[in-house]
Amino acid sequence: MEQTTAEKGFTLTIQHLKKSFRHGKKKVLTNICLEVKSGECIGILGANGCGKSTLLSILAGIQPADSGSIQLNNTNLLKKGYPSLIGYVPQECPLMEELNAYDNLKLWYCDSPLSLQAELEQGFLAMLGIPDFLKVPVKNMSGGMKKRLSIGCAVAENPRILLLDEPGAALDLICKERIEVYLKNFKKQGNTILLATHEEREINLCDHLFLLKNGTLEPFCYDGNIHTLAGKLAQTEGSCSL
């Protein structure tokens, strides 16, 4: 039997990724290079507008890159398309506002290899606490409920790589705790996480950290000094307006 990507491990390699807007006048990503292995959590740090969301949306296949390559093992995703191995949770809510949590889940899990009922009873959806608000319409949910449901929908295809754009922003401690527990378990299973964050709690989940500045990624070692981190983030301000 052929091994799955999770069983044999995988490497996501990003080489010389570039993206600009306004007909090339506004350079957002100038030379993004990164290698991520299965089981790692990578944190992308930077001030608002430095290009973190643009980078994640390209990795998720939402928008195209101008040039460069994104290799998953030996497959160039920019040429072959984006497989179900990648799940994406953007900053904005991707849910159907008029539907309740359960109906949103049914849309995402209709062709899923996972059983929706099993996940609600004892799987990741249960871990996220989603059964507590299954009948609540999205429009009536708190920010934490929406974020947890968004993550639950993003993992419907049982992805091996999860892209998160500031998952803990504006959430209370209970929601942050639930998401943190979920991410730790996701990673323990040999899966990979890339997250854009400002949250110290999420930073501590990461195996490697990078500052996005002037369109490139610079390795960053966080020593627990929040003032040093704030100073580094301030240096990334103004490097991009998108």
Task: For the chain, give the percent of residues with pLDDT over 90.
Answer: 62
The dihedral through the CA atoms of 107, 88, 15, 39 has a sign that is negative
Provide the H-helix boundaries in the chain.
5-8, 52-59, 77-80, 101-109, 116-122, 124-127, 143-154, 173-188, 200-203, 226-235
pLDDT at residue 5 above 50?
no
Fold topology of 1-85+159-242: Rossmann fold (3.40.50)
- Domain parsing of the chain, residue ranges: 1-85+159-242, 92-158
Whether pTM > 0.85 for this model: the answer is yes
Higher pLDDT, 3 or 230: 230
Write the pLDDT tens digit of every residue in 41-70: 999 999 888 899 999 999 999 999 999 999
Write the pLDDT tens digit of every residue in 125-170: 998 899 999 999 999 999 889 999 999 999 999 999 999 999 887 7
From the CB of residue 33, how many other CB atoms can be counted at a distance below 10 Å? 12
